[in-house]
Chains A and B, each alone.
Chain A
């Protein structure tokens, strides 16, 4: 199709004519428009972000000179050997702690979120549902640091928790600066990430399925186990991607509420970027959460979690 632009060119003031000529150029060559729209964002990402990730990946196979502390660019597996060493399991233990707490947090959040999502999707009126929805999402957007800090004060010796425990005649709990504190704080911080996909997947289950199940003689529990839970599973897994991945990569919570000897992979990474200045080792360590997440995402995709995101 061709457009006779001569007639248009003669119309209107010069500014408009120039604009028309530009629009015509883009209209006739859609690829040019696509290219000029895509180049800035893609180039920025490719250079800064993908480039940076590539540098990181490569540097995990480099070393650091023990005396000068300078980066040595020769290929070595030493970093990985040091991490996966069974004679000195320091790093394996840290990785185990990180993954273990991430798993515990994910399970806790799933247990907390499921009944809440069920209430929002099946029991609450539309008005209440809207209010609950905002009530879940807002804490997520309010400062991450402040929410950790709030728990620091709650769990501290003279904090609200012990005051409440004394109020009902129980002894003090010494939770501050322990793995338990990290478990509570992580579960708290990432909970909204679990509620949303669980709620969305529950809301999508047609009421007729539940009715059919009860028509066939199933009681409440049976319906929950055989109909609702299997259909809501992709939502739970979608939520678990967030809770698991975010816990895996965190280092601020262990820093602020974990005790001595409660380092996460992230803490060791941070120390090696800053104080110890051993970027290759940090990069090798950081590849653990990346690999774990890669496997996790493949499994999650199999289970249909991506459709529930």
Chain B
């Protein structure tokens, strides 16, 4: 029951908020083609020169490669740990069940700086030197919950009679997994994995505490933004990062239809 005047007002408000949400992203896309190396508006001219510069920049390449490796390793770890936890929590009732799901959510519920400095002091305490693995451990901690959410949502929507039927027909545990569980879960796993990758690829706060002197792509951007250096290269990298994180998320949403903020089911 909304009057037509109210509808129009709401529509205008929605359009304005959408402009607010999207204009800055579009703007960064435009700045990537800026001819000048001064970040002012309007642009004095257009060029694709900075794409070539960014592509051949050794720092960009090495940090892109590191981010990529970290993303893959963290996603792999999260897939294994997250789906194991989801299976157990879904299938069994036991003491402390609620606290386990709470435990998994903690790394994203607490501010990133807490997770970051906790891990940092743990590494120092345990005498672990900074390496790619310290970054991977940090990223995996908050990626697990994304996979967990996706897998458990899919398990809840699947009827347990499928597994019973498979076993009644004489399948062993492996066959049930291969021919029943896997086809049911595969898209949820892919979606969870893509979201975990996007989360890891973009992470800064925890990374600044767990990377030491190593530089992932977001750290590369952060360092250059702080010092105001190489901004034309940063523009190009920024556009690439937007595309690289949005594409997996769009695919993940396609795979699972509905979506929430961190879960897609």
Contacts and interface: CB of A to CB of B under 8 A. Distances in A.
Interface of A: 16, 19-20, 22-23, 26-27, 30, 33-34, 37-38, 40-42, 44-45, 48-53, 55-56, 59, 112-113, 115-116, 118-120, 122-123, 132-154, 156, 158-160, 163, 188, 191-193, 196, 210-211, 214, 220, 223, 242, 245-246, 248-252, 255-256, 266, 269-270, 273, 279, 282-283, 286, 289-290, 293
Contacts of A144: 202, 204, 218
A116 B17 CA distance: 8
A196 B260 contact: yes
Contacts of B114: 53, 56, 249, 286, 289-290
B1 interface: yes
Nearest to A59: B121
Interface string B125-150: 10000000000010001001000000
A16 B173 CA distance: 10
Interface in B147-205: 172-175, 198, 202, 204-205
A252 B209 CA distance: 13
Nearest to B122: A52
Given A123-B10, A290-B110, A112 B24 contact: no
Nearest to B13: A115
A133 to B, nearest CB: 7
A153 B27 contact: yes
A251 B205 contact: yes
Given A45-B103, A53-B118, A220-B6, 7 more contacts: A42-B85, A112-B20, A123-B7, A139-B21, A142-B245, A159-B41, A191-B21
A150 B24 contact: yes
Given A143-B242, A147-B24, A196-B260, A34 B91 contact: yes
13 contacts: A19-B175, A23-B174, A37-B85, A38-B85, A49-B118, A50-B103, A51-B122, A143-B241, A146-B28, A149-B221, A151-B24, A242-B261, A269-B113
A271 to B, nearest CB: 12
Given A142-B245, A144-B204, A56 B118 contact: yes
Given A38-B88, A49-B118, A211 B111 contact: no
Contacts of B242: 142-143, 146
Interface stretch (B45-53, B54-62, B68-76, B246-254): B246-254
B87 A149 contact: no
Contacts, number: 258
A40 B78 CA distance: 11
Nearest to A219: B3
B117 interface: yes
A287 to B, nearest CB: 9
Nearest to A290: B114
Given A142-B246, A250-B111, A283 B174 contact: no
7 smallest A-B Cβ distances: which pairs?
Answer: A249-B111, A23-B173, A158-B40, A52-B122, A150-B24, A52-B118, A37-B88
A141 B221 contact: no
Nearest to A113: B17
A174 to B, nearest CB: 15
Given A38-B88, A137-B261, A143 B121 contact: no
B21 A56 contact: no
B172 A256 contact: no
Contacts of A150: 24-25, 27-28, 238
Nearest to A252: B204
B121 A249 contact: no
Contact of B24 (A145, A154, A273, A283): A154
Contacts of B208: 270
A119 B6 CA distance: 10
B25 to A, nearest CB: 6
B226 A40 contact: no
B233 interface: no
A290 to B, nearest CB: 6
A23 B163 CA distance: 13
A19 B104 contact: no
A48 B117 contact: no
B100 A38 contact: yes
B88 A149 contact: no
A227 to B, nearest CB: 10
B84 A248 contact: no
A158 B40 CA distance: 5
Contacts of B246: 138, 141-142
A19 B139 CA distance: 35
Given A37-B88, A135-B22, A154-B27, A256 B226 contact: yes
Nearest to A46: B103
Contact of B10 (A115, A136, A154, A192): A115
Nearest to A120: B14
